[in-house]
Chain A
Amino acid sequence: MIAASVALARRALRNALRRPQFLAPLVLFPTLFLAVNVGGLERTTSLQGFPQVDGFLDFQLAAAITQSLLLGGVSAGIAAALDIEGGFFDRLVASPTPRLAIVLGRVLAASVIAAIQVVYFLVLGLVFGASIQGGALGVLSVLAIGIVAGTGFGALGMMIALRTRNASTVQGIFPLVFVILFISSAFFPRELLSAPADVLAAYNPLSYIAEGMRQPIAFDNAIGPVLEGLAAAAGVTVVAIGLSVLALRGRLREA
C-alpha cells in the first residue's frame, strides 16, 4: 500500500512538473491577485476595526496562499479526471493496486505541491517587504496548515473527478472556488464583513484556515487561531479523503 501510494504520488508530481500549463496558474493567478489587492486596497488597513498590521501585504499573504491551495485542488482534480478519461485509471483498477492507494497517491502529491506553494508565497512576501512576525515557528505553523489544507483540497478535487469523470466539469468548478473564498474572511477581517457575509464566513472553514496562517505572518504565534486553522484544515482533509474513498467505491460498484 505504501509503495503503491508513493509510486503514484511520484508520478503525479512528475506529471505536474511536466505540465507547466497546469502548475503555473496555481501561483501566477494568486500572485497577480495579490499584487492588485495590495496595490489598490492598501488604504483598507486604515478602516476602523481593521487589525493593526505592518502592511496590507502581511495581511493578504494568507489569502493568496489559501487561494493558491484551492487552485491546487482543482488542478489535482483535473489531473485525476484526465486519468479517467484517458483510461489510465482503468489500468490502475485492473492491477492489484490497493484502492486506497489510488486516492492517497494523488493526495500525497497535493501535499508536496502545497508545501511548494506555501514556500513560494512566503518567499514572495519577504522579497516584497512582508515580515513573518512569528519567525521560524510561524513559518512552520503556516507550512503545517498549508500542507494539511492543500492535502484536503487535493482530495476534494479527486472526489469531484471521481464523481464527474470529466476534466472540463472539474475545471468548471473554478469560479465556485472564488465564491467560496469570498464568503470567508480570507481577504478581509471578519469584523468588517456585513451580514450575511459575516455569518457565512463564521461557518466557512476557509476563514479559519486563512486566519490560522495569517496569525503567525501578520501578528504573532498565538496558539488559538493556529490550532483552529489546523483543525479546520484537518477536518476538510479527513472529510475530503473519506468522500474520495466513497466516490471511488461508488465508481467501482457502478462498473
Chain B
Amino acid sequence: MQYPGPIAAIEVIGLERRFKGAVKAVAGIDLEVAAGEVYGFLGPNGAGKTTTVRMLVTLLRPTGGQALVAGFDVATQPADVRRRIGVALQEAALDPLMTGSELIELQATLHGIAPRTVRARGAELIERVGLSQAAGRRVGTYSGGMRRRLDLAMALIHEPEVLFLDEPTTGLDPTSRLTLWEEVRRLRDEGTTVFLTTQYLEEADQLADRLGIIAAGRIVATGTPAALKAEVGRPHLDLVLAPGTDLRRAHEVVTRFGDHRPVADGCHLSIEIARGAGDIAPILRALDDADVAVAELELRQPTLDDVFLAKTGEHLEGSGNPHSEAAAELV
C-alpha cells in the first residue's frame, strides 16, 4: 500500500535487524528524510550504517519495525522500492571484465530503460562523471576513484528519487573525494534525495543537510550539523601566551569574556566565547592593554566528534585529533 498525502522520501520507525546469535546490528532506529535532502548517516565501523542501508535498499529483511522508501514499504513492496532508488554500495561491485560503457548499458537495461535511449543516457552519465576517455576500457583497469564515479553513474541511470551512497569515499584519495562531493552537491541542487553513510566527520559536515549519528545500532543524535555542534557547546579560543607572561594577569583579563580554564603547562589558556570570531578582537585588545603577550591563538569550533563524544562517551573511530576541524588559526 502506498501512503497518501505528502510523504517523506525515507521514513523509518523502530527499524531493527537481528542476526543469528541474537546480535542486534540495528536496534530500533527512527529517522525521517525529506525529499530533496542530503541525509548523512555518521558512525564508526560496525555501528550499523551498512546494515541500515541494506535494509532500506531491500537487500536485507528487517527483523522489526518499518521502513518506507519513496512511499513504499521495504519489506512488503520491495519491487516498488527498487524501481525508485539508486544504490552505490560500500564496495563498488563492478564487473572488472566489462568496460564502463558496457556496465552502464547493462544497468540501464536492467532498469527497463528503452533500448533506443540506453546508449545516449549511458554516454551522458559517463560524461557527467568524467569517464568519457575511459568508457571503453575494462573496469579492472580503473582506479578506486574512477570505479566510484562509475558506480555513481550506474546508480543514477534511471533518475532515481532516492539515492543511497554507502561510504562512497572510503579509501579514496583527496582529489577523488572532492570530485564525488561535488557530484553529491550537484545532485542535491537537482532535487535528488541522498542518503549518505560515512565515517568521515568532514564529509558529513560538508555534505549533509541533516545528520543522524549512529552508535552500536542506535541513533544517538539527529539534526543539522550546526545545530548538533551548537548543542555541545560554544566555540573555544585557545591562547598560547608568550614565555614569561603573567598567567594570573592573563587569567583575570580573559575571565571578563567568559568561562576559562588555564591548563597545566602554565602558558596555555582556553576560553569559551559566545560570538565566535567576533569576540577575538576585544579579547586581544584587552590582553594587549594588560601587557599580556600572546604567542599563538586558535579559534576552535565544536566538531561532530565532540557531538559523538558527548553522546557516547567515545571518539569517532579514525577521527584522530578531536580538534582537527579548527576553523581558523590566526597567528
- Which residues of A are at the interface with B, using a C-beta cutoff of 8 A? 3-4, 7-8, 11, 14-15, 18-19, 83, 86-88, 90-97, 253, 255
Contact = CB atoms under 8 A, between A and B. Distances in A.
Given A3-B112, A11-B106, A97-B110, 19 more contacts: A4-B109, A4-B112, A7-B109, A14-B102, A15-B97, A87-B91, A88-B93, A88-B94, A88-B95, A90-B59, A90-B89, A91-B89, A91-B154, A93-B58, A94-B89, A96-B82, A253-B61, A255-B59, A255-B61
A17 to B, nearest CB: 9
The 7 nearest A-B residue pairs measured at CB:
A87-B93, A7-B109, A96-B82, A97-B110, A18-B97, A94-B87, A95-B110
B83, B87, B110: most-surrounded residue (chain A CB, <10 A): B110
Nearest to A89: B93
B197 interface: no
B98 interface: yes
Contacts of B18: none
Contact of B110 (A14, A15, A92): A92
Contact of A87 (B85, B89, B112, B115): B89
Contact of A95 (B61, B97, B98, B111): B111
B95 A4 contact: no
B111 A96 contact: yes
A11 B111 CA distance: 16
A15 B102 CA distance: 11
Contact of B57 (A8, A15, A94): A94
Given A7-B106, A11-B98, A94 B91 contact: no
B34 interface: no
Contacts, number: 66
Given A7-B106, A94-B87, A255 B60 contact: yes
Interface in B285-326: none
Contacts of A4: 109-110, 112
Contacts of B89: 87, 90-91, 94
Contacts of A14: 97-98, 102
A251 B160 CA distance: 26
A95 B104 CA distance: 13
A110 B308 CA distance: 53
B82 A95 contact: yes
A91 B93 contact: yes
Interface in B253-308: none
B79 interface: yes
Contacts of A19: 97
A70 to B, nearest CB: 24
